[in-house]
Amino acid sequence: MGKKQSKKAGSDKRNIVFEARLVEAGASEALAAVEEVGDKAADLVDLWIRNNNAAAVTAVAHSESAPASARKAARRGLNVFKSRGIALPDVKPAAPALQAKEAPTLEAWFIPPDQSGIATYTIGSSVRGQRYHIADIRVHETAGVIEMNVGEATGGSIRDSFRDMEQRVGFSPAPVPVEWARWRIAEGRKRNAASGLILPLGFDTASDLLEPVPEVEPEHPTLAAGLAVTDEDLDKRVAGSAHLHNDPEFRGWLPEIQFVQELLTKVGQRIGPEPEKEHDRINVIFDEEIKAAADRFFTPEVRERLAQRMRDAAVSSFARAGRERALDVLAVAEAARRCGLITSPPSDVPFLRSFFQKALAVVAASSGGQIQIPVPGKAEADPSRGVVAPPEALEEAARSAARRSEDPKNP
């Protein structure tokens, strides 16, 4: 019984069905065909080999822009054809004049800002059958362009690097309009003059990718996609915003350590030198001080910067998780902008408050699941005698650190 199942599983590959136009593709259609079928490219090539479609197999075998798996299968197929005595078509390089007439295709991708405010823009230019001319530019929100790499890559290697990034960090570069990427890079270059940071080498060799720069700022990709949060929808989306910290775009976002230390110091001051008297109130004290820490940390300037980063992050959220998740992100960005010191403080926004809950979880994880709270008097006499925060005080923080959520859409 087991052998029969194994044989059936091994034959599934031969049962993959492709459209007739793909099966009968000639040399001129072969590259487009393997691109179209994506992960099944090698299976399509195997079918061509079985059908003695030497023209299509040869075209893929000699193309550097074909997916790596398809190219490998095609080169193996050439040996199969030789063993069958099948004549292989001559491979002639395209005439330079014909290549010059074909306009290159431009594409751009975007990695949203990380915790330090660095975003990455990638622009590539390709002509069918050739490698991409590609530039990766990292831009800091205040310092300007901090790194630039220019080179060549195959379409397959670009896709492989995107898949590798998605496996490592949970998302891959999102496609964006070339004009918008060029504008953002040009604005970053202007900031270099103000910050004094020397521009990296490479701009001269990538002028065909980075120019022309639009005269007017292009529409943000979220607006181009029709993503907008209404006032009626804002409160509802913001109420569940803590779970956004589980998304890969925001997992690394934390307050600076000095603000976390300040929070713990203030908790210790409220507990006082006789912590046993405040044991029943520690959870309440933690909750109040977390809110106070969020209100201190998220000044108007910090909130504006965070809102801009989140607007950019929504581009990635839209590409990775769809419209609803992107609207959740945009809602928090708008809520952060609207916060005031007296009415609607930052601590009223769960996403902002959870910055400190997540930070406490990180601190606890680095010290065996506990947090030592410095208590005046006791801590000075014996640093090891601080108060250990009870597990209940870290419950929400632990849930965030474990990348779980009460949101059924984001388990």
For residue 380, the model assigns a pLDDT of: 47
Nearest CA-CA partner of 264 in 164, 370, 345, 182: 370
Read off the pLDDT band of 37 (50, 70, 90): confident
Read off the pLDDT band of 347 (50, 70, 90): very high
Read off the pLDDT band of 113 (50, 70, 90): very high
Adjacent-strand bridge partners of 388: 372
Residue 382 CB-density burial (10 A; 0-12 exposed, 13-18 middle, 19+ buried): exposed
Using the predicted structure, report yes or no on whether residue 193 has a pLDDT greater than 80: yes
Q: Give the range among 261-275, 352-366, 374-388 with minimum mean pLDDT.
A: 374-388
CB count, 10 Å around CB of 225? 15
For residue 93, the model assigns a pLDDT of: 54
CA–CA separation, 75 vs 56, rounded Å?
Answer: 11
CA–CA separation, 152 vs 109, rounded Å?
Answer: 16
For residue 15, the model assigns a pLDDT of: 64
Domain locations in the chain as residue ranges: 14-84, 102-218, 231-401
**Taking residues 170-196, what's their average pLDDT?**
96
Q: What is the pLDDT of residues 290-334, one digit of tens each?
A: 999 999 999 999 999 999 999 999 999 999 999 999 999 999 999
Round the average pLDDT of the chain to a whole number and report it. Answer: 84
Instruction: Please enumerate in sequence order all residues whose Cβ is within 8 A of that of 135, keeping only pairs 6 or more positions apart, or say none.
Output: 122, 123, 124, 148, 149, 150, 202, 206, 209, 210
Using the predicted structure, report yes or no on whether residue 390 has a pLDDT greater than 90: no
**E strand or H helix that includes residue 110:** strand 105-111
Using the predicted structure, report yes or no on whether residue 101 has a pLDDT greater than 90: no
Using the predicted structure, report yes or no on whether residue 87 has a pLDDT greater than 70: yes
Task: Give the highest mean pLDDT range of 12-21, 208-217, 374-383.
Answer: 208-217
Adjacent-strand bridge partners of 120: 111, 138
Q: What is the pLDDT of residues 401-411, one digit of tens each?
A: 333 333 434 43
3-state class (DSSP) for residue 228:
coil
